[in-house]
Amino acid sequence: MTTLLLPQLNHINKPLLISNQHHRKPYRSPVISAVSGKQLVTSGEVRAVEPREAKTLVSSEGYVLLDVRPAWEREKAHVKGSLHVPLFVEDPDNGPITLLKKWIHLGYIGLWTGQRFTMFNDEFTLHVVEAFPDKKSKVLVACGEGLRSLMAISKLHREGYKSLGWLTGGFNRATEGDFSEIEGPEELRFATIGGASYYFLKLLVLLQSFGKENR
């Protein structure tokens, strides 16, 4: 009788070893989202400062006023001794697409407000760090209406500055005597206003003063 030899199949019962290299999830760096300036003010991490309080902060508490308005607004009026680092600068590009955007901007916004077509200042943070190398510096950030300064606060907070103040409502809410000395030909509260709206405002002020004289 012939004996049939079958191959050994013991390996079938052995567990199948698969390298876990193929099952590793790819590493993803954590996403760090910048906290908005409004959230920083609401949470109390950034101090909200009324214009009438600003002079005391600068003279008695060691704060430095940082003006982030564009140059053409600062030329009209600014607080003497304040540091100027614009968050937005005029866009110098004159390519066909940018020129089209500038014309649209002029028609919808520029003629009325006098605001120019701008872009983010890529060197904003760099210049602030050069002026304030110590991240513990007390910096009171201000603009015309308070919106651009909120954006600046967010950038500076992300850079590591923790002793920040925000001028509530910007220079537009400033009244006479809120700051020690103002330089420039215009009132500080009107420096942001330009274009046709500037002449409209002047007319309103003139009519208002004329009405008071006739009372």
Which of 190, 156, 205 shows the shortest CA–CA distance to 78? 190
The CATH class of the 36-213 domain is alpha beta
Q: What percent of the chain has pLDDT over 90?
A: 52
CA distance 78 to 182: 6
Catalytic status, residue 143: yes
Query: How many secondary structure helices (H) and strands (E) does the chain include?
Result: 8, 9
Beta-strand pair 78-79/64-67: unpaired
What is the value of pTM for the model shown? 0.68
Residues paired with residue 64 on neighbouring β-strands, in sequence order: 139
How high is the mean pLDDT of the chain? 76
Residue 53 pLDDT > 60, yes or no?
A: yes
**CB count, 10 Å around CB of 101?**
14
* Segment 87-112, tens digit of pLDDT: 998 756 566 665 555 445 444 554 44
First-to-final CA distance of the chain: 136
Q: Where are the domains of the chain?
A: 36-213
- Structure-block tokens of residue 74: 């600062």
DSSP secondary structure letters along 120-142: E-TTHHHHHHHH--STT--EEEE
Confidence of residue 38 (pLDDT cuts 50, 70, 90): very high
* Helix residue spans in the chain (DSSP H): 37-43, 51-60, 71-76, 96-105, 111-113, 124-131, 147-159, 195-213
In degrees and rounded to multiples of 5, residue 99 shows phi and psi of -60, -40
Q: What is the pLDDT of residues 66-90, one digit of tens each?
A: 999 999 899 999 999 999 999 998 7
Contact predicate 174/146, CB 8 Å: no
The catalytic residue among 143, 174, 188, 191 is 143
Q: Encoding tokens for residue 142? A: 């201000």
